[in-house]
Amino acid sequence: MQPSDSTVIYPGSFDPITNGHLDIIERAHKLFGLIIVAVADPLHKKCFFSLEDRIYFVRESTKHLERVRVEKLEGLLVDFARKKGARAIIRGLRAVSDFEYEFKMAWMNRRMHPELETLFLIPSENYAYIASSLVKEIAFLGGDVKELVPPVVYERLKDVKIDGKGPSLEVE
């Protein structure tokens, strides 16, 4: 099957990108002409990695996909989508627990931009249990996350050290 010409946006905080996110990006890449991965600084949670690092991790992890672009998401997603001429937003659904939040967001975005569809893709069952928050927690406590994240993220997570103030990145 040939991918369509459509541009779609895959937004998220990607703190950090995991193999679950990557699985969704690869699936979208088979279907659509251009996938813009829009990396956001969410208002409702504080990210561990800087926006620059998160963008770098996504870029490095998607180098093999020729029609993927990685950008910073500023402002409302619906405005960003209009600016990019995107037809749809891609989101990943892992479990029923994702559903309520995703459903609310999709309705809200539709209110603001009725022509923009939200499409849900389901990852391979091998990645369905992976969440960025869980990956960080395991890595910070010394567990092995090699199978869960792209190599560039795995290497960086090795630099995290834990002191009395909690996890932080080692500065050269």
List interacting residues with ligand ADP (CB under 6 A). 12-14, 18, 20-21, 24, 42, 91-92, 94, 98, 123, 127, 130-132
| Residue 45 appears among annotated catalytic residues | yes
Give the distance between the most distant pair of CA atoms in the chain: 54
Instruction: Tell me the C-alpha distance between 161 and 159, whole Å.
Output: 6
CA–CA dist 41, 170 (Å, integer): 22
Given the residues 21, 29, 54, 87, the one annotated as active site? 21
Please, what is the minimum distance in Å from the beta carbon of residue 65 to ligand ADP? Answer: 16
Smallest distance, Å, CB 163 to ligand ADP?
A: 26
Write down the least CB distance from residue 142 to ligand ADP, Å.
22
Give catalytic status of residue 29 as yes or no: no
Q: What are the distances in angstroms from CA 18 to CA 14, 79, 161?
A: 8, 27, 20
The residue from 59, 84, 94, 110 that is catalytic is 94
Which position among 61, 87, 91, 132 bears the catalytic label?
132
Going by DSSP bridges, is the β-strand pair 88-92/7-12 parallel, antiparallel, or unpaired?
A: parallel
Residue of 45, 104, 146, 161 marked active site:
45
Kindly tell me which of 91 and 136 has the beta carbon lying closer to ligand ADP.
91
Of 121 and 160, the one with the shorter C-beta distance to ligand ADP is: 121
Q: Are 51 and 72 in contact (CB under 8 A)?
A: yes
| Cα 152 from chain centroid (whole Å) | 15
Catalytic residue IDs? 21, 45, 94, 132
